[in-house]
Structure 1
Amino acid sequence: MESEKYLEGQSMQRPPLFESDGFIYWKNRFETYVKSKDLDLWHVITDGDFPPIQNNLETKKDEVVPFHKQNDDLKKKLAKNNEAKMVIYNALPRKEYERIFMCQTAKEIWDTLLITHQGNNQVKANKIDLLVQQYEQFMIPEEESIDNAFAKFNTIITSLKALDESFPTQLLGKNKFYEEVIKKDSETVKSKREQSRSIALKARKESCYDDDSLNIRYEK
């Protein structure tokens, strides 16, 4: 299989292999990988290519510079444009590459991947609305462990953050989850108290029944 040949994780030189079924997960890992390598590459991917523009010392204006007049610093900067495309190519399987090979820039490739797997603005807004609803209605079932509940809650939070970077995941997320944990603990304590009261009441009734039986025997 292609993914087996990829040997992801054995070399920090290869970006995370693209996952269409877990796009948000891959997107976050890919972003972290690129930023750890070169922040200029991430700028090119999200904002567009560096233009072949250089400040003219005579006119004091930025001008488009033909290749044969570009200095080494500008050439190195422009090389980032192809490096950004290559880092995305290295993460994609052939099927996904066939979707984007006509794209001219890294930003076009990235935007195509986002629209294809994350949806356009309307689809994205619908996903955000659904996740916000899941966030607001989140509850921890009595029979579920805290670890499992946290994993589910964390999936909602990270998905929201991936779709909407302005979503304040850290503080609100922690507060929301801790509120549910406290709520679950209090409900558990309440349930145990009611259970104890029920057992005590049952024992009291049985004791009264036994006393009545003894009185009847004594009267005979």
Structure 2
Amino acid sequence: MERSSITRPPMLESGNYPYWKTRMKAYIKFVDEKTYHFIHSSWQAHIVDSKPRKVFKPKFKWTTKEDRVSSANSKALYLIFYGIDLQEYKRVPKCTVAK
């Protein structure tokens, strides 16, 4: 049986997704409320020009806000990755957006 911890996210296991989802939302909000809100804004890499193909803005040219949003996305991904077991992780290792 899993014990509650403020230093470890809840673990997703077979058959407990609704329970895990509710607890993970609460855990992410506890760690950082802004990170939770950034998840819902659906972060994307910053694009300079999309014609004829996407050109991503170099990180050294990001604004402070863009950097904060990217950091929040990274924090959320970390929390989610450490809240799933190896079997589930095999399905999402290339995810770059927490949402």
Which whole-Å CA distance do the structure 2 matches of 1:84 and 1:48 have between them? Answer: 12
Moved over 4 A (4+): none
The structure number with the bigger radius of gyration is: 1
Q: Does 1:69 align with 2:61?
A: yes
Report the RMSD for the aligned CA atoms in angstroms: 2.6
| Identical-pair percentage | 30
Q: Shift of the alpha carbon at 1:66? A: 3.1
Q: Shift of the alpha carbon at 1:8? A: 4.4
Q: Shift of the alpha carbon at 1:40? A: 2.5
Q: Does 1:35 align with 2:29?
A: yes
Which whole-Å CA distance do the structure 2 matches of 1:24 and 1:92 have between them? Answer: 14
Amino acid at match of 2:74: N
Which whole-Å CA distance do the structure 2 matches of 1:16 and 1:26 have between them? Answer: 6
Where 2:90 maps in the other structure, the secondary structure is helix
Q: Shift of the alpha carbon at 1:82? A: 1.0
- 2:13, 2:85 within 8 Å by CA — same for their partners in 1? no
In the alignment of these two chains, the number of paired residues is 91
Structure having the larger proportion of residues in helix: 1
Residue number in structure 1 paired with 2:97: 105
- 1:50, 1:77 within 8 Å by CA — same for their partners in 2? no
Residue number in structure 2 paired with 1:19: 13
Gaps of 5+ in 1: 54-63, 108-220
Residue number in structure 1 paired with 2:40: 46
Which whole-Å CA distance do the structure 2 matches of 1:69 and 1:23 have between them? Answer: 39
Structure showing greater relative contact order (alpha-carbon pairs closer than 8 Å, 6 or more residues apart): 2
For each residue in 1:69-95, what CA deviation from the matched residue of structure 2 results, as whole angstroms up to 9, or x when unmatched?
Answer: 234453233211111111100101101
Residue number in structure 1 paired with 2:75: 83
Which whole-Å CA distance do the structure 1 matches of 2:25 and 2:92 have between them? Answer: 18
1:1-220 counterparts in 2 under 5 A?
8-9=3-4, 11-49=5-43, 52=46, 66-107=58-99
Q: Shift of the alpha carbon at 1:51? A: 5.1
Q: Shift of the alpha carbon at 1:103? A: 2.4
Q: Given the two structures, how large is their TM-score scaled by the length of structure 2?
A: 0.71
